[in-house]
Structure 1
Amino acid sequence: MHNVVYYARVSTDEQGQLNAIENQINMLEGFINKNMEWEMVGKYIDRGKSATSTKGRIEYNQLYSDLETNKFDIIIIKDLSRLNRNPLDYYKFIDRLVKNNKRLFLYTDNKFYESDDSLINGIKAILAGEYSRDISKKVNAGIRQKQKDGIPMTNGSTWGYDQKRGSKKLTINEEEAEIVKQIFDWYCEGKGFRIIYKLLEDKNIRNSNGKPFAMTTLKRIIRNEKYKGILICNKKHKDFDTKEIYDNPENEWIIHKTIIPSIISDEIWDKANEILSTKKRKNTVLDKEVITGYFSGTQLYSGKIICGQCGRTFWHTIISGKSNWQCKEYRNFGSKKENKDHGCWNIKLHTDELNKMVKQTIYNFVINKDSVMKKVMNGLKCSLLDNNDMKRYDKSKNEIEKLNNRKERLIDMMADELISKQEYINKKKSIDEQIEKFKTEIKSINQIKENIKSKTERLNGLEHILNIGLKSYEGVTDEMIKESLDKVVVISENQYNIYIYGFRYEANTNSPFVPTTR
């Protein structure tokens, strides 16, 4: 008996075909069930996904990953085009398939993939890729013509407008349009996106998905030219090979000024966008313009500062020209209010103070290297596998081999009609459960091995840090911080837990920076 899975896929274009995916599924499942030596143990289905790339194909990527497991022996697909239309992806899949002793059955060809088929199937993948490229060119040409004709192409979620299926026009949704007008009015009155977010939430106004408006969505509303009746097309393009989206230069934009009914007057739209533009300021650290009140990019401590009150990360911001960090929950919702689900009391951390505390902590860590190394080595010693672990590991491997042999004998017994198919399934299930227990045992021991390996590898970096001669905390560099700092947990506005190589230190801003090891 062989464990079998199937992979089914339809593209976005094929979704419109009546029962396209259902027919494919029924065909493959029916074929599997008719084979007495096959047992279906799983399925992988991608709906509305192109085969020109593996990006976004969740089920395909899971199948590709599962090739390295023992979940199945055989994969069945309708034909090669269901799997890949990209030659490189095709050869990568086949390479992993062969290395892991899996078999691929092609339903349309009614045969298993063989190594001799590699070249011809590779050519088929190339032809399929070129076919997809040609289709893409034709689709893009059609889209460009619609853009020139001034036909709005939306996903139907542009707030304030409706576009009926197949319609060439946008019509105003009066209820939503009033909300758009209110957002512009609030912004022109000087209210920021955080305040507008709260006002909308207080009025229980949600987006088309029934969720609160994101502040980034509010910014996009202010920037959207459609609201003053201007349609701008061809701002971006998608590269067929990389699947990435790129900006087009302004001289390639297609602009229509009388196609869309306006919701906002030119004066209000221009005023709101002028206000938004004035909130741009130069970030001297990143050397680029950012909007005040928005996350400003990757910093030395990005992702490493955790709020001890609500568990959210801290975001970098510039306040009065100075570098600071604030809890994301506070940034989005302000101070915590009674009976409110959102907000946080943990509000601000100056980068200068943070730098001083972290550097002092690392400095103390380095100058006490003898005690540090002793604790690290003791921790590593506690993790080491003992002789009993190795015995359990060897025993589990031997038991799995025995159980697999028993499964093979069961197949022979069923073939000789000594047991029924149902008896075979029941006995096989019992054996598989035992195998899984031993695999769990092996996995546990392997995890110990990985932890030891990880700690040993990190020990090399630790030795490098400890061997640096430091005369004061000011000698600690950014590279040393990147290497040694695990995280900073902000308990309150002036109390912190700083983790260096897994060791926790306490620090606060009201006393000298001499952290206490925990």
Structure 2
Amino acid sequence: MARIEREIIVIPPTITATTGYREHRQLRVASYSRVSTDMEEQLTSFHAQKSYYTELILKNPSWTMAGTYADEGISGASAEKRPDFMKMIRHCKKGKIDLIITKSISRFARNTLDSVGYVRKLKAMGVGVLFEKENINTMEENSEVILTILASLAQEELNSLSMNVKMGKRMAMKEGKVSFQYSRLYGYRKGFDGQPKVIPEQAEQVIRIYQMYLAGKTTRGIANHLNSNHIPFLKGKSWSEGTVRYILTNEKYCGDVILQKTYVTDPISKKVKQNNGELPKIFIKNNHEAIVNRELFDAVQGEHTRRSSKRKICSATVTENGKYSSLYALSELLICGHCGTPYRRVVWTKRNGDKQPVWRCINRIQHGTKYCTDSVTADEESLHRAIMGAILTSYTPDKVVPMALTKELRNAMRKQADSTIDIGQMERQIASLIEQVMEIIQGDKHYESLEEEFSDRERMKTLSDEAKVLQTVVDDYKALHQSEEDIATSLVAVEEYLASQPQDILEYNDSLVRQTIHTIKVMDVNRLTIYFRNGTIHEQIMAQKVRRLHKQ
């Protein structure tokens, strides 16, 4: 059989494959324009670009208008943040555009990755990009090499521009020039001289927020209170935990300014990071009129730190962090005088069905008499009566601190104590001892012998006793070394708070207790040791109503 000779036939194209353009109809051409700022001259250029490309497309008989896409006042660093650009890409995917015309590579994108990436995507869809200034058509051969080089130059131009802006801002910071975002700064408005001016009615709410926080309320509780009283936030918005926290932690409310608290990592991603020492900060003290005094502001920062750093005291807690609760003041103040563990509120049900709230050592609740054999269960009514009695003993009925007490405090403050004592070291040692005690308690291990269990109990008792001795030394030292200014501030704060309370303060009040008392130790069945915030220590008799104190 004769072999058939192989034949090669070339079939000519009907559509140019390299361009994807159709020969027998007009090209659907779209224009893209962008300006990066809202400055007047930039906006004039922006509108001029749109008009120019609209006219250019309509004058060309081979082109038909497929749309004008423009992003106004937006940076070209990231394509995803330009809505009209992304809209144009979606229309290209749907086959509505054949060619995109734009002024230059820098107007299309300043990010090299974006420029090359989107050009490749568009080319795969059969859509070309015409960069007028560089005279590059991406559907032509070897255009990508030139595009990559020019796009890299555009990105470097962006980096240089960003660096110039940063340097300008940092120089302005060093000169003390401050700009305020009044749209977020509740309580202030821009004055005629360009400086922030206090809005009196809003300033009253700011002070109330600070006072409520120190009185024990949470940020959520404060926000709920403001919303329920129909007090509007900026632009009529409602209050949230975030807005309350922003006011409580913003140094501008005491008249100060800290600049460069955050910084932008790079001009492409524009990711904002907290400045934790990577860059210098500028602190400007007494920059403008304050709404809250410095003492109140510092007190709130201290309370915020205390709440944030709370550690778990219950082995049932999943994380190491404890949670602050504003429900009961005694949850924060009441501790066992024998093992140092905080107390918890428990509701007992009597035989007749009545409910009785009592306070018990958490150590005792979880482990019985294993680690705390002498803790006292105190009924809430007796506790409240004893605490209010102590407050009334320390403060006169007309709510003014007695002169005798003030004189005694100032005399104690002036006494000289041993200056060689390292209180910081002692407090760290106390924390370490308590941590060791809690490790034994939370270990809850099963002992193989009575000797092993007895050894652990003895070790825990030794650690606890040592911590108590050190704490006594620390408390005495601090009481003697309060400065006259600190004592005066404490006394004034207590007097002001008491003056704002109803005339009859015999009734227990959580807010009053938080403002006046630092710690309450339950020493035995009928005795409390109360440490007041003004530095005094008071022994208070408590008439208990609970019968079964040690066996619960």
2:190 is aligned to: 163
Match of 2:163 among 128, 131, 137: 137
Q: For residues 205 and 10 of structure 1, do their structure 2 counterparts lie closer, same or farther at Cα, with a shift above 3 Å needed?
A: farther
Letter in 2 for 1:95: R
Bigger mean CA offset, 219-228 vs 196-205: 196-205
Cα-Cα RMSD: 3.1
Asked if the contact 2:35–2:42 (Cα under 8 Å) also holds between the matched residues in 1, the reply is no
- Mapped partners of 2:54, 2:322: distance in 1: 56
Q: Are 1:44 and 2:74 an aligned pair?
A: no
The question of whether the paired residues in 2 share the 8 Å contact of 1:15 and 1:47 is answered with: no
- Percent identity, aligned pairs only, is 28
CA deviation map 1:362-419 (0-9, x unaligned): xxxxxxxxxxxxxxxxxxxxxxxxxxxxxxxxxxxxxxxxxxxxxxxxxxxxxxxxxx
- The equivalent residue for 2:152 is 126
Instruction: State how 1:56-455 maps to structure 2 within 5 Å.
Output: 56-108=81-133, 112-113=137-138, 114-157=140-183, 158-163=185-190, 169-240=195-266, 241-250=268-277, 252-280=280-308, 281=310
Count how many residue pairs are aligned between Structure 1 and Structure 2.
294
Query: What's the CA shift for 1:29?
Result: 2.1
Give, in whole Å, the separation in 2 of the partners of 1:74 and 1:118. 16
Q: Distance in 2 between matches of 1:254 and 1:70?
A: 54
Contact 1:4 1:74 in 2 (8 A): yes
Equivalent AA in structure 2 for residue 122 of structure 1: T
Q: Flag the 1:179–1:91 CA change in 2: closer, same or farther, 3 A.
A: same
Quick check: 140-149 or 245-254, which moved more? 245-254
**Aligned-pair CA distance for 1:58:** 2.8
The AA in structure 2 aligned to 1:147 is M
**Aligned partners of 2:57 and 2:63 also within 8 Å:** yes
Change (3 A) 1:25 1:290: farther
Pair 59,287 (structure 1): closer, same or farther in 2 beyond 3 Å:
farther
Task: Specify the code of the residue in structure 2 equivalent to 1:29.
Answer: T
Which one-letter code corresponds to 1:100 in the other structure?
A: M
The amino acid that maps onto 2:175 is D
Deviation of residue 271 (structure 1)? 2.6
Residues 77 and 269, structure 2, Cα contact 8 Å, conserved in 1? no
Q: CA deviation at 1:210?
A: 2.9
**Structure 2: gaps of 5 or more residues:** 1-25, 327-343, 346-552
Instruction: Please name the residue that 1:488 is paired with.
Output: none
Taking a change above 3 Å as real, the CA distance of residues 168 and 120 of structure 1, as seen in their structure-2 partners, is: farther
Give ranges in structure 1 of 5+ residues lacking alignment: 294-319, 322-518
AA of the residue aligned to 1:206:
P
Q: Distance in 1 between matches of 2:69 and 2:324?
A: 43
CA distance in 2, matches of 1:164, 1:177: 15
Secondary structure of the structure 2 residue equivalent to 1:45: strand
1:436-470 alpha-carbon deviations (Å, 9 max, x no partner): xxxxxxxxxxxxxxxxxxxxxxxxxxxxxxxxxxx
CA-to-partner distance for each residue in 1:288-335, whole Å, 9 max, x for gaps? Answer: 788879xxxxxxxxxxxxxxxxxxxxxxxxxx99xxxxxxxxxxxxxx
Q: Is the 8 A contact 1:151 1:168 kept in 2?
A: no
Partner of 1:5: 30
Aligned mates of 1:99, 1:60 — CA distance in 2: 18
Alignment partners' CA distance in 2, 1:171 and 1:181: 16
> Matched residue of 1:279: which SS?
helix
Q: In the alignment, is the contact (CA less than 8 A) between 2:103 and 2:132 conserved in 1?
A: yes
- Bigger Rg, which one: 2
Structure 2 counterpart of 1:53, from 69, 78, 81: 78
In structure 2, do the counterparts of structure 1 residues 170 and 73 end up closer, same or farther at CA, with 3 Å as the change threshold?
same
